[in-house]
Structure 1
Amino acid sequence: MTVGFLSNWGRGRGQDFDSGGTAGVVELTRRRPSISLTKQGAVSGNLRVNLSWRMRTSDFNAGRSGFGRDSWRNPLKMFKPEVVQAQGTAMVNVDLDLACLYELQSGAKGVVQPLGDFFGDLNSPPYVKLSGDDRFGSGSGETIFVNMDHKDDIKRLLVFVYIYDGTPAFDRTQAVVTLYPSSGPRVEISLDERAPEARSCAVVLIENVKGEMVVRREVKYVYGFQSELDRLYGWGLQWGRGYKQKV
Structure 2
Amino acid sequence: MGFFDGLRGGRAAQFQSGSTSSSAIELTRRHPTVSLTKQGAVTGNLRVNLSWRMRSSDFDGGRSGQSGQLFRHPFKLFKPDMVQAHTQGMVNVDLDMGCLYELTDGTRGVVQPLGTLLGDLNDPPYIKLSGDDRFGSGSGETLYINLDHAEEIKRLLVFVYIYDQTPAFDRTHAMVTLYPSTGPRIEVPLDERAPEARSCAVVSLETVKGELIVRREVRFVYGFQAELDRLYGWGLQWGRGYKTTKS
TM-score, normalized by the shorter chain, greater than 0.5? yes
Residue 212 of structure 1: aligned partner: 211
Quick one: distance in 2 between partners of 1:117 and 1:40? 33
Alignment correspondent of 1:32: 31
Aligned to 1:131: 130
Q: CA deviation at 1:114?
A: 0.2
| 1:21 to 1:69, Cα distance in 2 relative to 1, 3 A | closer
**Counterpart in the other structure of 2:144:** 145
Could you say if the C-alpha distance between residues 140 and 233 of structure 1 is closer, same or farther in structure 2, counting changes exceeding 3 Å? same
Q: Distance in 2 between matches of 1:30 and 1:157?
A: 20
Q: 2:104 — aligned with what?
A: 105
Query: Following superposition of structure 1 onto structure 2, how do residues 165-180 of structure 1 map, counting pairs within 5 Å?
Result: 165-180=164-179
How far 1:103 moved relative to its partner? 0.6
Amino acid at match of 2:89: T
TM-score normalised according to structure 1 size: 0.91
In 2, Cα distance between equivalents of 1:64 and 1:88 = 18
Conserved? CA contact 1:27–1:187, under 8 Å: yes
Residues 49, 144 of structure 1: 8 Å contact kept = yes
**TM-score, with normalisation over the residues of structure 2?**
0.91
- Partner residue in 2 for 1:196: 195
Q: What stretches of structure 1 of length at least 5 have no aligned partner? A: none
Name stretches of at least 5 consecutive residues in structure 2 with no aligned partner.
Answer: none
Match of 1:10 in 2: 11
Asked whether the equivalents of residues 7 and 237 of structure 2 are also in contact (C-alpha less than 8 Å), the reply is no
State how 1:223-234 maps to structure 2 within 5 Å.
223-234=222-233
Q: Deviations over 1:72-92 (max 9, x none)?
A: 12223212222222234343x
**Structure 1 residue 61 displacement after superposition:** 2.3
The answer (yes or no) to whether the contact 2:21–2:185 under 8 Å persists in 1 is yes
Over 3 Å counting, the alpha-carbon distance change for 1:46 and 1:239 in structure 2 is same
C-alpha spacing 1:140/1:21, structure 2 compared with 1 (3 Å): closer
**C-alpha distance in structure 1 between counterparts of 2:18 and 2:37, whole Å:** 18
- Cα distance in 1, alignment partners of residues 65 and 193 from structure 2: 24
Residue type matched to 2:169 in 1?
Answer: F
| Cα RMSD after superposing both structures | 2.0
Q: How far apart are residue 19 of structure 1 and its match? A: 2.5
Task: Give the residue type in structure 1 aligned to 2:100.
Answer: L
Tell whether 2:162 aligns with 1:163.
yes
Per-residue CA distance 1:124-158 (angstroms, 9 max, x = gap): 11011101110011000000000001111111100
* Identity over aligned pairs, percent: 68
- After superposition, residues 39-78 of structure 1 pair within 5 angstroms as 39-62=38-61, 64=63, 68-78=67-77
Count of matched residue positions in the alignment of Structure 1 and Structure 2: 241
**d(CA) in 1 for partners of 2:164, 2:155:** 28
**Is the CA contact 2:221–2:227 (under 8 Å) kept in the aligned structure 1?**
yes
Question: 1:134 is matched by which residue type in structure 2?
Answer: D
> How far apart are the structure 1 equivalents of 2:142 and 2:200?
16
1:60-79 C-alpha deviation (Å, 9 max, x unpaired): 32362699443112223212
1:236 is matched with 235
Which one-letter code corresponds to 1:119 in the other structure? L
Q: 2 CA distance for matches of 1:132 and 1:63?
A: 31
Tell me if 1:95 matches 2:94.
yes
Distance 2:20 2:83 in 1: 29
The alpha-carbon deviation at position 228 of structure 1 amounts to: 0.4
